[in-house]
Amino acid sequence: MKKKIGFFVGSLRKGSYSKTVATALASLFPEDYEPIFIHLDNLEMYNQDLDDEGTPPAAWTKFRAEVKELSGLVFVTPEYNRSVPGVLKNALDVGSRPYGQNVWDGKPGLVVSVSPGALSAFGANHHLRQSLVFLNVPTLQQPEAYIGNVVSLINEDGTITENTMSFFKTIVDSYLVLLEKNR
Ligand code: FNR
């Protein structure tokens, strides 16, 4: 059976550069992996009362079940105000509860930050890593993936430039090693 790799994109924008990068990364996984884009847009904001009262929204339950099935986690995110966009942080929070039922636990992660700017969303990348430490997600350390000036890396037809694809392949290959180590 193929191993499922969840892709979590921190932007809901139709023309999202992060989504373009995530799609390119997904195309580089070998046949025995199945990239799955997990939707974050219908997750209600986390409210612990709903778990405590035994009435979690259906979208939370579905999301938690989807994440449990995954062998690996790929996070591709822009930076909002030097941090992680709320939609992605909310998804982390929803998956982390109820207490003791953290669905992220132990699944190897890859963090890729994307920006049209030169600072490459460094702040979002590292704030995300901070949460992943607490969620017990072993995260690829090297190579780090800061994708800055992203507009210049996308061809007119929406594909990624050749040099960048070869860097993406290095990232994916290193992540595959981490995945195998953590099986
Ligand atoms: C941004 N943007 C941005 N960029 C950045 O490099 N650092 C930042 O702190 C911010 N802050 C920020 C806040 C908010 C609310 C928005 C909407 C945007 C710009 C951002 O990088 C740009 O809009 C990207 O195109 C967003 O990523 P997607 O949607 O293309 O994936």
Does the interface predicted TM-score (ipTM) exceed 0.85?
yes
Tens of pLDDT along 35-79? 999 999 999 999 999 999 999 999 999 999 999 999 999 999 999
Q: Please work out, in degrees rounded to the nearest 5, the angle formed at the alpha carbon of residue 182 by the alpha carbons of 180 and 183.
A: 70
What distance in Å separates the CA atoms of residue 13 and residue 74, rounded to the nearest whole number? 18
Domain count, the chain: 1
Rounded to two decimals, what is the model's pTM?
0.98
What distance in Å separates the CA atoms of residue 134 and residue 144, rounded to the nearest whole number? 19
Which residues line ligand 1 at a C-beta cut-off of 6 Å? 11, 13, 16-18, 78-82, 114-117, 119, 121
Q: Could you tell which of 76, 81, 127, 149 is best to mutate to test the pocket of ligand 1, judged by most ligand atoms within 8 Å of the CB?
A: 81
State what percent of residues in the chain have pLDDT above 70.
Answer: 100
What distance in Å separates the CA atoms of residue 166 and residue 91, rounded to the nearest whole number? 30
Atom of ligand 1 nearest to the CA of 117: 6
Range of the domain at 87: 3-181
How close is the Cα of 16 to the center of ligand 1, in Å?
A: 10
How close is the Cα of 117 to the center of ligand 1, in Å?
A: 9
Residue 183 predicted with pLDDT over 90: no
Q: Could you tell which of 79, 122, 147 is best to mutate to test the pocket of ligand 1, judged by most ligand atoms within 8 Å of the CB?
A: 79
- Whichever domain contains 20, its CATH number is 3.40.50.360
Residue 108's pLDDT band (boundaries 50, 70, 90)? Answer: very high
- Give which of 109, 150, 178 is closest to 24, Cα–Cα: 150
Tens of pLDDT along 121-156? 999 999 999 999 999 999 999 999 999 999 999 999
How close is the Cα of 181 to the center of ligand 1, in Å?
A: 34
What distance in Å separates the CA atoms of residue 144 and residue 125, rounded to the nearest whole number? 9
Residue 50 exposed, middle or buried by CB count within 10 Å (0-12, 13-18, 19+): middle
How close is the Cα of 141 to the center of ligand 1, in Å?
A: 24
Residue 166's pLDDT band (boundaries 50, 70, 90)? Answer: very high
What distance in Å separates the CA atoms of residue 176 and residue 183, rounded to the nearest whole number? 11
What distance in Å separates the CA atoms of residue 125 and residue 23, rounded to the nearest whole number? 18
